[in-house]
C-alpha cells in the first residue's frame, strides 16, 4: 500500500458531542489522498466508541488508543511517529474544516515547492456552532515572521506542514509546552523554509470555556512569553527583550486599553518602520501590521472607541485594501453560517 500524500493528525481526550462533526469535516474533504491518524488519550466519555464506529466505515482512519493519559503534546508526537504522509495536516477534535481546505493548501504547496508550512484564515464559532468572529492571520512569509514575537501567526487546526523538513529533520513538538506547543514549533519550522497563510477562511475554530488556554491561564502566559522571547531574538538579533517590552507584548495579546495602546504605539511604530524598511518589496509585512492594529482596535471597541478608531485609521494607512476587506467581512458576513455548520 503506497503512502498517502497527507496525514491528518488529531488528538482526542473526551471529545464529546464535538468529535463526530470534527471527523466528518475531514472525511468529506474534496482532497482524498490522506490517512487520518487519531490518537485517543485515554478518553472516559465514550469517545472511543465513536472513533471505532467511524474507523469501521472508513479505511483511511488509523486509531491509536492510549490506556493512560499523556497530554496533548505527547499525543501529537505519538501521532507524528506513526504518520506516513509527506505533509501533516492538523485537526482538533472540536474544530471544523471546510470541504476544500486540504485541496486548497496542497494546491498552494505544489505551486511553491519551497514552502514548509501553509495555514489558512478562519472563523470563530461558539459551542453551538454559531459564528462569533473572524480570525485574521498574516499571509506572506515576511508578514508571518514579523508577527511571530507578537502572537501566534497560524491557526493550529488549520495548518499543513512537512513531516520531514528539507534539511532532513523530522518534525516534533517540544513536550515542555502543553498549550503553546504549536507556536513554539512554528518558530523552529521557520528556520527550515518559507511560510504562508491562505486568505480563504477554511476552518472554524471553536471557542470553548473549558479549553486548556482558559483553564491554565498562568501557564499560557508563561509559555507565550517564552515563545515570544525566542521569536524576538530571531527577528532582532543583538537586541535584548527587556521586561518592559515583554510586558507590552503580553498586554497586546491580552487586549489593550486606550492608555496601553498609546504606550504600545510608542514601542511599536519605530520597530515596525525598521522591519518594513528591511522588507520594502513585501506588502505582506504591511498587511501583518494592519492585522495587529485591527486586533488592537477590536479590543478597545467597548471601552475606548476613540483610540479604537485611531487604531483602525493606522491599519488603513498600513494596508488600505486589506483593512477595507476586513471591515467588509465583519459588517457583511457575520450573519451567515458556513454551510456545514448550519445543520448541526
Domain that holds residue 131: 6-215
The SS3 of residue 41 is: coil
Residues 188 and 275 in one domain: no
Residues 40 and 173 in one domain: yes
Place of cell 492585522: 291
Digit-by-digit pLDDT tens for the chain (344 residues) are 688 999 999 999 999 999 999 999 999 999 999 999 999 999 999 999 999 999 999 999 999 999 999 999 999 999 999 999 999 999 999 999 999 999 999 999 999 999 999 999 999 988 888 888 889 999 999 899 999 999 999 999 999 999 999 999 999 999 999 999 999 999 999 999 999 999 999 999 998 665 554 445 888 899 999 999 999 999 888 778 889 989 999 999 988 888 888 889 998 988 888 877 777 766 677 888 899 998 888 778 766 778 888 888 989 988 898 888 888 877 765 555 554 443 33
User: For the chain, what is the domain count?
Assistant: 2
Residue at 316 is within a domain: yes
Residues 208 and 249 in one domain: no
Question: How far is CA 237 from its chain centroid?
Answer: 25
The confidence score (pLDDT) of residue 24 equals 97
Residues 62 and 129 in one domain: yes
Residues 114 and 243 in one domain: no
DSSP 233-280: HHHSTT----HHHHHHHHHHHH---HHHHHHHHHHHHHHHHHHHHHST
Residue at 294 is within a domain: yes
Q: Are 71 and 173 in contact (CB under 8 A)?
A: no
Residues 62 and 167 in one domain: yes
128: left (phi over 0), alpha (psi -120 to 50) or beta: alpha
Q: Are 261 and 311 in contact (CB under 8 A)?
A: yes
Q: Are 150 and 72 in contact (CB under 8 A)?
A: no
Residues 83 and 134 in one domain: yes
**Dihedral sign of CA atoms 268, 269, 273, 279 in order:** positive
Residue at 100 is within a domain: yes
The confidence score (pLDDT) of residue 1 equals 63
The helix or strand, by DSSP H or E, that contains position 231, with its residue range, turns out to be: helix 217-235
Residue at 221 is within a domain: no
Residue at 121 is within a domain: yes
Q: Where is the domain boundary, 215, 250, 285?
A: 215
DSSP 67-108: SS---HHHHHHHHHHH--SSEEEE--TT-EE-TTHHHHHHHH
Residue at 230 is within a domain: no
Residues 186 and 303 in one domain: no
Residues 80 and 151 in one domain: yes
The confidence score (pLDDT) of residue 307 equals 84
Residues 68 and 11 in one domain: yes
Residue at 340 is within a domain: no
Residues 176 and 301 in one domain: no
CATH number of the domain encompassing residue 57: 3.90.550.10
Residues 211 and 315 in one domain: no
Amino acid at each position: 500500500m503506497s503512502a498517502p500524500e497527507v496525514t491528518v493528525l488529531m488528538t482526542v481526550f473526551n471529545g464529546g458531542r464535538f468529535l463526530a462533526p470534527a471527523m466528518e469535516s475531514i472525511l468529506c474533504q474534496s482532497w482524498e489522498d490522506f490517512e487520518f491518524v487519531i490518537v485517543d488519550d485515554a478518553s472516559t466519555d465514550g469517545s472511543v466508541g465513536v472513533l471505532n464506529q467511524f474507523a469501521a466505515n472508513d479505511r483511511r482512519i488509523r486509531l491509536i488508543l492510549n490506556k493512560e493519559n499523556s497530554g496533548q503534546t505527547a499525543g501529537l508526537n505519538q501521532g507524528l511517529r506513526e504518520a506516513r504522509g509527506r505533509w501533516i495536516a492538523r485537526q482538533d477534535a472540536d474544530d471544523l474544516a471546510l470541504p476544500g481546505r486540504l485541496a486548497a493548501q496542497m494546491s498552494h504547496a505544489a505551486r511553491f515547492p519551497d514552502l514548509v508550512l501553509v495555514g489558512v484564515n478562519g472563523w470563530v464559532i461558539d459551542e453551538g456552532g454559531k459564528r462569533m468572529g473572524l480570525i485574521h492571520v498574516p499571509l506572506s512569509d515576511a508578514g508571518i515572521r514579523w508577527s511571530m514575537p507578537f502572537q501566534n501567526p497560524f491557526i493550529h487546526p488549520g495548518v499543513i506542514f512537512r513531516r520531514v523538513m528539507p534539511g532532513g529533520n523530522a518534525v516534533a513538538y517540544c513536550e515542555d509546552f502543553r498549550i503553546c506547543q504549536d507556536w513554539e514549533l512554528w518558530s523552529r519550522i521557520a528556520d527550515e523554509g518559507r511560510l504562508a497563510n491562505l486568505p480563504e477562511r477554511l476552518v472554524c475554530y471553536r471557542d470553548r470555556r473549558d479549553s486548556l488556554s482558559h483553564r491554565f491561564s498562568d501557564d499560557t502566559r508563561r509559555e507565550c512569553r517564552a515563545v515570544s522571547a525566542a521569536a524576538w531574538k530571531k527577528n532582532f538579533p543583538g537586541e535584548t527583550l527587556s521586561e518592559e517590552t515583554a510586558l507590552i507584548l503580553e498586554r497586546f495579546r491580552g487586549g489593550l486599553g486606550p492608555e496601553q495602546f498609546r504606550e504600545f504605539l510608542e514601542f511599536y511604530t519605530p520597530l515596525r518602520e525598521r522591519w518594513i524598511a528591511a522588507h520594502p518589496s513585501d506588502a505582506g509585512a504591511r498587511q501583518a501590521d494592519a492585522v495587529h492594529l485591527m486586533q488592537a482596535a477590536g479590543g478597545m471597541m467597548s471601552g475606548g472607541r476613540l483610540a479604537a478608531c485611531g487604531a483602525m485609521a493606522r491599519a488603513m494607512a498600513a494596508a488600505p485594501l486589506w483593512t477595507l476587506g476586513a471591515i467588509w467581512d465583519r459588517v457583511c458576513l457575520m450573519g451567515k453560517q458556513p454551510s456545514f455548520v448550519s445543520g448541526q
